Amino acid sequence: MTSVSPPSPVTATAPPAPVPAHRSGFGGYLLAEWTKIRSVRSTVWTLAIFVVVSLGLTALFTWLTLNALNNGRRGEAASSIVTDPVSFILGTGLGLGQLAICVLGALVITSEYSSGAIRSALLAVPRRYPVLLAKGLVFAALVIVVGEIVAFLSFFIGKVLVNGHVITGRLTVAGHHVIVHRTITVSLSQPGVLQAVAGSGLYLTVLGLFALAIGGLIRHTAGAITAVIGMVLVIFPLAGLLPDSWGAHVHAYLPTVAGQLITQDKPTAGQLLSAWQGFGVFCAWTALLLAAAIFLLQRRDA
Give the footprint of another protein on this chain (CB under 8 A). 1-7, 9-10, 12-25, 28-29, 31-33, 35-36, 39-42, 111-112, 115-117, 119-127, 299, 301-302
Task: Please give the single-letter amino acid code of residue 172.
Answer: T
Least Å distance, CB 222 to another protein, is 17
CA angle 91, 96, 101 (to 5 degrees): 110
CA gap 4, 163 in Å, rounded: 66
CA angle 51, 53, 77 (to 5 degrees): 125
CA gap 51, 154 in Å, rounded: 10
Closer CB to another protein, 47 or 202, in the complex: 47
- Neighbouring CB atoms inside 10 A of 114's CB total 13
Closer CB to another protein, 129 or 156, in the complex: 129
Closer CB to another protein, 29 or 203, in the complex: 29
Least Å distance, CB 35 to another protein, is 4
Closer CB to another protein, 1 or 269, in the complex: 1
Closer CB to another protein, 123 or 173, in the complex: 123
Radius of gyration of the chain (CA): 24
| Type and span of the H or E element at 180 | strand 176-183
Least Å distance, CB 5 to another protein, is 6
3-state secondary structure of 19: coil
Least Å distance, CB 117 to another protein, is 4
Least Å distance, CB 30 to another protein, is 9
